């Protein structure tokens, strides 16, 4: 049996952060949802049951949190920083799928949110 692809993910992680182009967004902040799927070879961990053979999702969360804590005007900028940090810290990562949603964005519409989705490959 061979694993074709494997991933570690964080789904709908909630953050209060200060991203946006409007001054109020940078002062008061807003609510954000982040979903992340990181391609990583998990076959060794499947056999060994050792933390060192996988991508620790708590460490992944802390890395994302560090980047979310840095205010930015654009979600594209935040997303790019998150991806660069993950690729730097975890050299075994093969791909990243990231969705970052600003809940209740100030655009004059009733919506669940607006944001960006990006896909990177090493």
Residue 71 in tokens? 């205010």
Q: Give how far the C-alpha of residue 109 lies from the chain's centroid of Cα atoms, to the nearest Å.
A: 25
CB 121 within 8 A of CB 88: no
Query: Phi first, then psi: what are they for 83, rounded to 5°?
Result: -65, -45
Per 3-state DSSP, what percentage of the chain is helix, strand, and coil (rounded to 5)?
Answer: 35, 30, 35
Which residues are marked as active site? 102
Q: Give how far the C-alpha of residue 104 lies from the chain's centroid of Cα atoms, to the nearest Å.
A: 19
């Amino acid at each position: 049996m061979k694993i074709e692809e494997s991933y570690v993910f964080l789904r709908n992680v909630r953050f209060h952060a200060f991203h946006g182009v409007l001054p109020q967004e940078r002062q008061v902040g807003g609510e954000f949802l982040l979903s992340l799927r990181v391609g990583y070879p998990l076959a060794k961990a499947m056999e060994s049951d050792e933390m060192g053979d996988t991508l620790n999702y708590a460490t992944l969360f802390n890395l994302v949190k560090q980047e979310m804590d840095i205010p930015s005007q654009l979600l594209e900028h935040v997303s790019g920083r998150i991806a660069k940090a993950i690729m730097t810290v975890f050299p075994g990562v093969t791909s990243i799928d990231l969705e970052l949603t600003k809940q209740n964005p100030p655009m004059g519409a009733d919506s669940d949110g607006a944001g960006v989705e990006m896909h990177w490959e090493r």
